[in-house]
Structure 1
Amino acid sequence: MNINTSFDSGNIEVISSDNTHNIQLQVRTDSNSEFKQWFHFKFSGDVGKSYGFELTNAKDCSYVEGWQNYNVVASYDRQYWFRVDSEFTDEKTLKFSHTLEQDSIYFAYFEPYSYERHQNLIQASQLSGLCQHKVIGQTVDGRDLDLLVIGDETKDKKIWVTARQHPGETMAEWCAEGLIDRLLDSDDALSRSLLDKAVFYVVPNMNVDGSYRGNLRSNAAGANLNREWQNPTVEKSPEVFYVRQLMQKTGVDAFLDLHGDEALPYVFVAGSEGVPSYSDKIKSLEEEFKAILMAVNPDFQDEYGYDKDEPGKANLTVANAWVAEEFNCLSFTLEMPFKDNANLPNKETGWSSERSFLLGQTLLNPLYQLVDKLRS
């Protein structure tokens, strides 16, 4: 029996083991931070033998409610990921067991999106005549902060999309990949027509350091990037600093910030109703966006989500609130579940990379319908 995490986004610590039914583990905290919940490890054992696992510090993780009705994801080939029945016992320990069908298997909090895949996405996208790749800065660990500019920068409408400010929310980059894939499809009439009027600025992974380190929510310096938007610094949050700096240069007419939520088993958005500049026009754009997205993708709903901010009381350190106030534009945080979509459950896979990818593609539909109404 062997457990290994010496790879991109690996995270688990072995506490004790009797080699079969009582392998006790704990989730390691984020770099320079107290957040913890993401795990990802490789397990090797005997084919045909059943092994039991316990995450002993589940009750001490950042989002304890995230373990309720949650099932671990697993894969033998790192391509197809399935769910393993799991139980949050006495609201203390997450337990699951599995009988090995092959010599080794990977377990994770959600289907990983590797740094290697990220690099492949960037390099392949730039081959399209519609796309430019720009490195807009370096992260704390010295990695490139990658931006894809899709379309003609002289177009009037500027649409920004960021993903994975919280590195453990890998569904966000799967979603961004779907959006990018459709934008670059020269046979897609909708995307071609949208690019006739707008240019897209897409940051597929805002937090590549945290992603590689196996963090849930923090960058290498321990910063929660989605609380850095009012006063980012090159030392602590260069990822936000450089993106914000470029936004102020280009302007923003619409903004989507892609995330995952640990607790809520739904796809939903959070708008900007709490910012001081919120207006009837922005409210109308928000309502139209949600109605169109629900019509084209039933995975999206608007009944369950976060409580709305009271007027004037939005947290302007959060990306969608800061952008909404700075540019007086349509601005959403889009959330996807770590668990499953309770409205359209899939017992085999739960919420998955495939559904995240397809959601990303359908995000273009409301943007296409609304592009002429966006702020000039």
Structure 2
Amino acid sequence: MSVTITSSFECGNIRVVSAHDPQDIRLEIESDGKADFFQWFFYRVEAPEGSRRMVIENAARASYEGGWQDYNTCASYDLENWFRVPSRYENGKLEIEHEAKGPVCYYAYFAPYTAHRAMEMTARFGAMDGVEWMPLGKSLDGRPVDALRFGSVAEAKKTIWVIARQHPGESMGSWYAEGFCEALTDPNNNMAQQLLREATVYVVPIMNPDGVARGHLRTNAAGTDLNRAWAEPSAEASPEVLAVRNKMDELGCDLFLDAHGDEAIANNFIAGSEGIPKWSPRLAELLSTFKNQLIQATPDFQDKEGYPIDPAGKANLRIANNQVGERFECLSMTLEMPFKDARTNAMPEEGWSPRRCKQLAVHSIEVMARLAERLR
């Protein structure tokens, strides 16, 4: 039986160990080019329709072994509609079983969002009335790092920044950003229109286009984790962060949200900047209000699970939300979404998905609209 496997496309990542039998396909995930991170995979299988069994043999050495527990792989026949297929982590290996309904199927750690799709999205929204397309700089491989400005600029208005995809394997961030942009350009979305009356909103849909294109998990072309480069970004190692931070310094920031994915925690949650030296009761109240209102807005969000809070004054200022919170004394947050499913509102067949990322963005806008006048 003929089996062909490839990952020679944007975002692709897999190494074939053995693929002589659809029931015994052996695979390994490749690490980031200049850094020893790996967990993201995305590949295509051509095989006879019917049962196939794939084993990722180096899963135990992945960056976040806990991410495999209760995880089911994403699959698609058309690269648009993604569903979950049964997966099991045992004896250090991830076993994927699928009763394929066609000869060609794609498998991924999460529904991919390519750098090319982000370019198309930026061009599409950038051509709309009331939106400004803002090229900020280039990546190390020469890819564009772009922002989109929504709403007019006025001195009395607040300034909001939303960025995504510092870690290229966390594709849910770009799905969230796309949903955010769609809502802001929907004339029938009253809360989005209210937000744009109060604030100018800047969105960077893809911070790390090189890592995305190369199929990396966490780093750019230089092997830099961009979310550890915000204190001292450089043109040599982290030009993507340097370009965005310079523009933020120019325009200011009253609210910052950085969209990510967490491998292990099966829920949506927010990490604040409580440990920054300039943390204050005002920022604490804004963060608490934001989280509480998002809980009220959607069953997909919760605040019982999350990261430990940094001790006072001990935050790592290399991390984006901490650096921005300290730099601008503003409400600054990291939104983490799951690779698995949101336990608070489980949908096993779909899991956490592009559709749900987009819907969470819509609810985030509702909360931002209610908070906007209080941000500064």
- 1:314 is matched with 315
Report what 1:105 is aligned to: 105
Which residue in 1 is equivalent to 2:36? 34
Deviations 1:110-144 (A, max 9, x none): 00112232122111101221101011100000000
Equivalence for 1:172: 173
Paired residues for 1:1-376 under 5 Å: 1-48=3-50, 50-90=51-91, 92-155=92-155, 156-375=157-376
Q: Give, as a single letter, the amino acid of the residue that structure 1 aligns with 2:44.
A: K
Structure 1 CA distance, aligned partners of 2:299 and 2:137? 38
Is this contact kept in 1: 2:4–2:19, CA < 8 A? Answer: no
Deviations 1:225-272 (A, max 9, x none): 000000010110001001111111111100000000000000000001
- Aligned-residue offset at 1:26: 0.3
Q: Which amino acid letter does the alignment assign opposite residue 359 of structure 1?
A: L
State the AA in 2 paired with 1:40. Answer: F
CA distance in 1, matches of 2:164, 2:88: 30
Percent of pairs identical after alignment? 43
Q: Is the 8 A contact 1:38 1:215 kept in 2?
A: yes
Q: Is the 8 Å Cα contact of residues 301 and 344 (structure 2) preserved in structure 1? A: no
1: CA distance, partners of 2:61 / 2:343: 25
In structure 2, C-alpha distance between the alignment counterparts of 1:211 and 1:338, rounded to whole Å: 16
| Cα drift, residue 193 of structure 1 | 1.7
**What letter corresponds to residue 95 of structure 2 in structure 1?**
K
Q: Distance in 2 between matches of 1:153 and 1:167?
A: 31
Deviation at 1:215, TM superposition (A): 0.5
Q: CA deviation at 1:153?
A: 2.0
For each residue in 1:297-331, what CA deviation from the matched residue of structure 2 results, as whole angstroms up to 9, or x when unmatched?
11000111001111011000000000000000000
Q: In the TM superposition, what is the alpha-carbon distance from 1:97 to its structure 2 partner?
A: 1.6
Q: Match of 2:303, SS?
A: coil
Q: CA deviation at 1:18?
A: 3.3
Query: 2:130 and 2:231 mapped to 1: Cα distance?
Result: 32
Letter in 1 for 2:148: L
Take 1:289 and 1:251, find their aligned partners in 2: how far apart are those partners?
A: 20
Are the equivalent residues in 2 in contact too, given 1:115–1:208 (CA < 8 A)?
Answer: yes
Please list the CA deviations of residues 319-349 of structure 1 after superposition, one character each: whole Å capped at 9, or x if unmatched: 0000000000000000000000112111111
Unaligned regions of 5+ residues in structure 1, if any? none
Distance, in Å, in 2 between the alignment partners of 1:343 and 1:197 is 32
CA distance in 1, matches of 2:255, 2:59: 38
Amino acid at match of 1:120: E
- 1:182 aligned counterpart, secondary structure: helix
Q: Contact 1:2–1:44 (CA<8 Å) still a contact in 2? A: yes
Corresponding residue SS for 1:343: helix
Match for 2:8: what amino acid? S
TM-score (norm 1): 0.98
Q: Name the CA distance, whole Å, in 2 between partners of 1:81 and 1:20.
A: 21
Q: Structure 1 counterpart of 2:162, which letter?
A: V
Look up the SS of the partner of 2:74 in the other structure: strand
- Is the Cα contact below 8 Å between 2:133 and 2:148 reproduced in 1? yes
User: More deviation in 270-279 or 185-194?
Assistant: 185-194
Unaligned ranges ≥5, structure 2 = none
More divergent stretch after superposition (146-155 vs 129-138): 146-155
Measured in 2, the distance between the counterparts of 1:117 and 1:17 equals 30
Q: In the alignment, residue 149 of structure 1 is paired with which amino acid?
A: R
Q: TM-score, normalised by structure 2?
A: 0.98
Alignment: residue pair count: 373
Residue 29 of structure 1 deviates from its aligned partner by 0.5
Contact 1:278 1:328 in 2 (8 A): yes
- Determine helix, strand or coil for the equivalent of 2:120: helix
Contact 1:179 1:362 in 2 (8 A): no
Deviating above 4 A after TM superposition, structure 1's stretches of 4 or more consecutive aligned residues are none
The letter of the residue matching 2:85 is: V
